[in-house]
Amino acid sequence: MILRPLEPPSAAASEFLPAWKVVERIQRQPHDGCWMITQPSHAVLAGDFAAKIVSAQAPKLDAALLRAISLHDAGWGVPDAQAIMQSRSIRGSCPRSFIQCTTAEFLDAWERSIEVAASVGPAGGYMVSRHFARIAEQGAAQLAEADRRKAIAFLKHESARQTRMAAKQDRSLADLERLTDVLQFCDLLSLYVCAGASDSAEFPEYFGVKARLTVSEAGYRLDPPLLGPGSAFSVAALRHPATKDLSSAELQIKLV
């Protein structure tokens, strides 16, 4: 679950900050109330972003690849549904951010997500598998020994799966890696927007481009404009705690 504080978080600094650090800070901060955005809904938004990419340096995406991006967090569907039920119960427990999940919860959701993406096509399955493998590779060294072993086993399993899926389609490994870049960019952009961040942020280099994002009352501005300016998006959100008058909303996103 991605949590978006009801009170929009103020910018922490005037300079450009790493986009992931901004997301992580918001997900860890205490709050009195929030909007809950499920991981599958966030993934759909990432797919909507991918469909609007206009950069000549980004690889072309067909319908199957766009669907794989939109499904890349499908494995979180059940745990997120359970979290919603708990938040709507009489006791109304506060939802956890995905940041607070255990390594075992992450790996289980990732494996389920990869299986769903692979059912769409081998290239999409490879892309989603590599996406999560990159995350695991970056974070494994920071884990406790038992969790590190689980992450290493996951990486070994996914490496074999990637080899099988790469052999079932015609793109080169270099092209598949660039497709993974697209997923990672759209995933991080979606996380940033869903969290309600307002800091100026910079993204890692993806498909040869390093983008920066600024936020104003008019909307979000990417430099370079990787997505078509003027594009409008929305994402479904649930309010916690729910009130008699308001329990859900479609949050609007606009690029300028």
In whole angstroms, what is the distance from residue 132 CA to residue 135 CA? 5
Lowest mean pLDDT among 27-31, 145-149, 169-173: 27-31
pLDDT score, position 183: 98
Instruction: Evaluate the CA torsion angle 188, 192, 193, 194 in order and state its sign.
Output: positive
pLDDT tens-digit readout, 92-139: 677 899 999 999 999 999 999 999 999 999 999 999 999 999 999 999
Asked if residue 67 has pLDDT above 90, the reply is yes
What span, in angstroms and rounded, lies between the C-alpha atoms of 160 and 248? 42
Q: Which of 31, 36, 30 is nearest to 1 (CA)?
A: 36
For residue range 202-212, list pLDDT tens digits in order.
999 999 999 99
